A and B are shown apart, each in its own frame.
Chain A
C-alpha cells in the first residue's frame, strides 16, 4: 500500500438538509484525503482552487420538497456560477452520492435522465448487491464483479428519455453500477453513472456507509470475504487515481 501523504484534496459542499457529511468526511479521510467541509452559504468559486475532488454528500438538500436536488442546483449556480463545470473541465473529479447524485443530474454533469420516485412509492433502506459494469472507472479499481452497499432513498429510480437510451448508456460504458435486483425500477437497473471522462460519478447507494467490515449486516461477512469493505476500496480507488496523476 502506498503511503498516504495527504496530497489529494477533497471538498464536500454542505447544503441545508445535507446529512451524510460526517461519514463522508470520515470515508475520504480514512483513505488519505485532506477534506474540507464547506457550508454552501460560505462557498466561493476560488475555494475550488487546488481541490481534486468535489463531493456532494447524501441527505435532503432544502428538504427536496420540489424535485430532489433542484434547489441545491440553483443555489450552486447562484453561489458558484460555473465553477463546478470549470473544475471538471480542468481535470477535477466530482462525486455525488444519493442526494449528491440527484444534484449532479440537475447540474447536467452526467448523461441526461432523472432520478424519480421508486416504483414502490416507498422509501427503501436496505443493502443491495451491485454489478460493477464499468471496469475502467477510476472509482472501481480493486472492486470485484459485484459489490454490496447500503441504499436509502425514496427517489432513486433512474429514468432516461426512454429505456433504450439507458441501455445505450450501458453499451457506451457510462453505467458504473447496476442493481443485481432492480428494486426501485431503474432503467437498465442503473445504480451509478459516470460521464465520458470518468471523472464525474453519481450513484444512489452509499459507499461511505461500508468502510469497515463491521458495518456489514452479516457478522460472518469478514470471515467469508478476503477483500476490504467495499466502500473503503471505492474511496481508495479514487484516491489512487488522483494521486497517480500527480506522481
Chain B
C-alpha cells in the first residue's frame, strides 16, 4: 500500500521557554527547556516553523539514547570535598586512554567508537567484534518482547558493523529482583514480579538467539531488590569479519535501500522512551514503545547481507535500531545529504503519519548504501533469501536531509546546524563512606553451614536451567562451553569460540559487581575490569590481545549523589584499562533506571558491566574450570586480602558493611602474564577464577566435575596479613586464580612465578569424594561434593 503525506507545521518561533518545554512534554520529545530554546534559535535562523517530522527527528537525534549526552556532559564533581571538573566522561576516561593504547599496539584495534561495534585483529586476515546493548525499559514493561528485540537489535548491530560482520556468539546479562520476593513487598501495582520478568526475559532471548542460530555462550544474572522496579537486560553479540570489509564510507550518488521487515506502529518513540524514568503509569502508557520481534525475518536479512558482502555489493550498511529510519538513514546521510521517499516504505498497516513512518522502530530492518549498477544483483539476492527490498532514496552532495512523502517535502534539515546538541551541565558528589576494615566475624564453628548457605545463594547457584534453554552449540564452534567438565554441568569462567578457516579463536568474559559499587564504586571499576581480564587469560587468551567493553546503567543522573558514584567508577575503569593495556573498543550507557512511587525515587545501584574479547592463539590450548586428575596439586596464585566487604558471605551472614578489597593492577597483570606462559606450555590442568563466594566456592565448583575428592590446608594460603579461616575461605579479593597442576610440573611453575604469590594449598584424591578443608590440624569443612553440588545445582530450578 502506498501512503500519503500526513504532517503539520508547529509554530515555535514565538513561544516562551516555558511554552517550549510544555510542547516538548506534550509531544513526548524528552527534550529539556535548554534544548528546545536551542531548537527555536535554529528555526529563527532558518526563518520558518518546523514540521512535526523535523521535531521528532531532532528529538531522536539529541536523545540520551542516541547521543550519550550525560557521558559527554561537563560535570562539576566533588570528591570528599575536593572540587574537580570533568569535561566529558567518555572522552576523558574512555576514548582518550583507549586511543593511547591503540597507538601503543599498532594493528590490534582495527576500528573503534564510530561503527556499530569495535573490531580487533584475530589472525591478520580476520577480525572479531563484540557489542553489548541494554534493553531495560522495554523488558520492564513487556519482558518477553523486550528481551527478544534486545537480542535481535544487538545481532543487527553486528550485521551492520563494517560491511556486515557474521554474528558468531551471543551473551546475555540480567539484573533482577530476588526470585523469592513476596508479592506484597512490591510497592507499585503494575510492576511485574521478578519471576515473571526472569521467565519472560530468558524466553525472549532464547527464542531470538536459537531461531537466528547464534549460540548464546556467556552471561550472568545478578539479583538485588532494587532491580525489581528496573530490571536490567544486557544483550551482547560477537562477530567475525575479514579485514577488507571493515571500513565503509558514505559517498554521494549511492542508492539507499532497505531490506527486511515492514514498517508499522510498533516501537514508536523507543529512543526517547528509554531516555526517561519509569513510573507507575509507564506500564499502561508506554506499551507502544515496545517492538515485536520476528527472528526469521532477521535471519533472512542476515543471509542477504552476508552474501551481498561476499559479492562486494555493499558500500555502507547500518541497522534500524532506536529511532528507526531517522537514526539509520538520517545518520548515513548526515554528512553527504540526500533524498528519501517515505511512500516507498512497505507498511504493516495503514494509517501511519509521516513522522511515524520515519521514526518507527519496527524490527528486522537494515539500511544499505549501494551502487546503482548493483541493484539488479541485490534484487536477485533478496528473492533468493525471500526478504523484501526497496529503494528508499539516494545520497547526494547537498549536506541536506530531504524527506519527501508522496511529492511533498515533510522534512528538510541542514545537518551542519544540528550536529551538536547543547552540552549538559551536571553536578556530582562522592563522599567516601566510613567503613570498618573488617566486620565482626562469626567464628569458625559454622564454616560447613556457611559454605552451604553461600552455595545456595542466588548469586552463586547454578544457572543451568537458563543455560540449557539457549542453544549454545549451534554453528559448532563453541570449544569451551558455559557448562563443561567431566559431567558436562560444571561452571566455567568464559566461553572460547573457534573461528571458521582460522587456527585462532576468541574468548568472551565478563564481570559485574554491583555489591561492590554500593561501598566503593572506584574499586568496583578496578575489580570488574580485573575479573574480566583474569577470566579471558585464564581460559587461554593472550593478555596482550584483549579488547574491553564498558556498559553502564544507573538511576537518575540529575541526582548528584548518584552521578558521583558513576564518576568514581569511570575513573576506576580508565586506570584499569591503562594498567592492563586493554583498550575499550565499544560501550553503551543507560540512564534513568529509577522508579517513582509515592513521591520517592528507587534508584538501581550504579551497575557496571565489563565484558571483553581475548584472542586465543591456539584453540587446542584452552583451559576449563573443572578438576580432571587424581593426585594433582592445587595452588592459588595471587594474594588474599583481609577484607570481606561486598562479598556474598558478608551479605548471607548479615555482617555489617565493611571495606572491599583493593585491586593492585600492576601486580595482578604480572601474575596473569606468568599464568599465560605456563598455560600456553600446557602446564595447567584446570583453573578457576576466585570471585563471588571466595575460595570456598571456587574449590567446590572445581570439584563439581565429580572426578576426584579434594584436600586443602588453608594455612598455606598467601595473604597480605594473617587471616581468620572465614576470611581465607570467603574473601573476594581480586587477582586470584585457583589452579590444578600435575605434581611433576610444580618446579616449572615455581620458576615462572618466582617472586610472585603462589601458594600450594592442597591436592586431589581418589580415596574419597569429599571437599575437605583444614587449617593445619584443625578440620574446618568436610562435606560430600555430591551433596554440595545438589544444593548448588537445583536451587534456581525451583523458581525458574
| A residues at B contact (CB < 8 Å) | 16-17, 19-20, 22-23, 26-27, 39, 41-42, 58-60, 62-63, 122-127, 150, 152, 206, 208-209, 211, 214-215, 217-220
From residue 184 to 228 of chain B, which have CB atoms closer than 8 A to chain A? Answer: 206, 210-213
B277 interface residue (CB < 8 Å to A): no
Q: Please name all residues of chain B whose beta carbon is closer than 8 Å to the beta carbon of A39 when the two chains form the complex.
A: 303, 384-385
Q: Please name all residues of chain B whose beta carbon is closer than 8 Å to the beta carbon of A58 when the two chains form the complex.
A: 474
Q: Please name all residues of chain A whose beta carbon is closer than 8 Å to the beta carbon of B213 when the two chains form the complex.
A: 19-20, 59
B472 interface residue (CB < 8 Å to A): yes
B779 interface residue (CB < 8 Å to A): no
Of the candidates A16, A19, A217, the one having the most CB atoms from chain B within 10 angstroms of its own CB is: A217
Given A22-B476, A219-B624, 7 more pairs with CB closer than 8 A: A20-B474, A23-B474, A23-B476, A23-B477, A41-B383, A60-B211, A219-B484
Q: Please name all residues of chain B whose beta carbon is closer than 8 Å to the beta carbon of A219 when the two chains form the complex.
A: 484, 622, 624, 628, 686
- Compute how far the CA of A26 lies from the CA of B481 in the bound complex, rounded to whole angstroms: 20
Contact A17 B476, beta carbon cutoff 8 Å: no
Q: Please name all residues of chain B whose beta carbon is closer than 8 Å to the beta carbon of A209 when the two chains form the complex.
A: 473-474, 476
- Compute how far the CA of A206 lies from the CA of B481 in the bound complex, rounded to whole angstroms: 16
Q: Please name all residues of chain B whose beta carbon is closer than 8 Å to the beta carbon of A59 when the two chains form the complex.
A: 211, 213
Which one, A60, A62, A126, A208, contacts B476 given CB within 8 A?
Answer: A208
- Compute how far the CA of A209 lies from the CA of B620 in the bound complex, rounded to whole angstroms: 17
Which one, B295, B383, B469, B488, contacts A217 given CB within 8 A?
Answer: B488
Contact A218 B484, beta carbon cutoff 8 Å: yes
Which one, B303, B473, B476, B628, contacts A125 given CB within 8 A?
Answer: B473
Q: Please name all residues of chain B whose beta carbon is closer than 8 Å to the beta carbon of A125 when the two chains form the complex.
A: 467-473
User: What's the minimum C-beta distance from B271 to chain A, rounded to whole angstroms?
Assistant: 28
Indicate the size class of the contact surface on chain B: 35 or more
B296 interface residue (CB < 8 Å to A): yes
Which chain B residue shows the least CB distance to A120?
A: B468
Contact A26 B471, beta carbon cutoff 8 Å: no
Given contacts A16-B299, A220-B628, contact A123 B486 (CB under 8 A): no
- Compute how far the CA of A27 lies from the CA of B475 in the bound complex, rounded to whole angstroms: 11
Given contacts A22-B500, A41-B385, A122-B468, contact A60 B296 (CB under 8 A): yes
B716 interface residue (CB < 8 Å to A): no
- Compute how far the CA of A235 lies from the CA of B332 in the bound complex, rounded to whole angstroms: 47
Given contacts A214-B620, A218-B484, A219-B628, contact A41 B472 (CB under 8 A): no
B544 interface residue (CB < 8 Å to A): no
Contact B481 A62, beta carbon cutoff 8 Å: no
B405 interface residue (CB < 8 Å to A): no
- Compute how far the CA of A150 lies from the CA of B471 in the bound complex, rounded to whole angstroms: 10
Contact B300 A16, beta carbon cutoff 8 Å: yes
User: What's the minimum C-beta distance from A171 to chain B, rounded to whole angstroms?
Assistant: 32
User: What's the minimum C-beta distance from B710 to chain A, rounded to whole angstroms?
Assistant: 17
User: What's the minimum C-beta distance from B164 to chain A, rounded to whole angstroms?
Assistant: 15
User: What's the minimum C-beta distance from A203 to chain B, rounded to whole angstroms?
Assistant: 15
Q: Please name all residues of chain B whose beta carbon is closer than 8 Å to the beta carbon of A23 when the two chains form the complex.
A: 474-477
Q: Please name all residues of chain B whose beta carbon is closer than 8 Å to the beta carbon of A126 when the two chains form the complex.
A: 468, 488
- Compute how far the CA of A40 lies from the CA of B788 in the bound complex, rounded to whole angstroms: 51
User: What's the minimum C-beta distance from B798 to chain A, rounded to whole angstroms?
Assistant: 15
Contact B386 A16, beta carbon cutoff 8 Å: yes
Listed by A's residue number, 21 A-B pairs whose Cβ atoms lie within 8 Å are A16-B386, A17-B211, A26-B500, A39-B303, A39-B385, A41-B383, A59-B211, A60-B210, A60-B296, A123-B470, A123-B471, A124-B468, A125-B471, A126-B488, A208-B476, A215-B476, A215-B479, A218-B485, A219-B484, A219-B624, A219-B686
- Compute how far the CA of A16 lies from the CA of B385 in the bound complex, rounded to whole angstroms: 7
- Compute how far the CA of A245 lies from the CA of B8 in the bound complex, rounded to whole angstroms: 75
User: What's the minimum C-beta distance from A101 to chain B, rounded to whole angstroms?
Assistant: 16
Contact B488 A127, beta carbon cutoff 8 Å: yes
B122 interface residue (CB < 8 Å to A): no
Q: Please name all residues of chain A whose beta carbon is closer than 8 Å to the beta carbon of B294 when the two chains form the complex.
A: 63
- Compute how far the CA of A126 lies from the CA of B478 in the bound complex, rounded to whole angstroms: 13
B483 interface residue (CB < 8 Å to A): yes
Contact A217 B296, beta carbon cutoff 8 Å: no
Contact A217 B483, beta carbon cutoff 8 Å: yes
- Compute how far the CA of A26 lies from the CA of B790 in the bound complex, rounded to whole angstroms: 39
Contact A218 B470, beta carbon cutoff 8 Å: no
Which chain A residue shows the least CB distance to B500?
A: A22
Contact B295 A63, beta carbon cutoff 8 Å: yes
Q: Please name all residues of chain A whose beta carbon is closer than 8 Å to the beta carbon of B303 when the two chains form the complex.
A: 16, 39
Q: Across chains A and B, which 9 residue pairs bring their CB atoms closest together, nearest first?
A: A19-B213, A23-B476, A63-B296, A217-B484, A152-B471, A217-B488, A60-B211, A209-B476, A17-B296
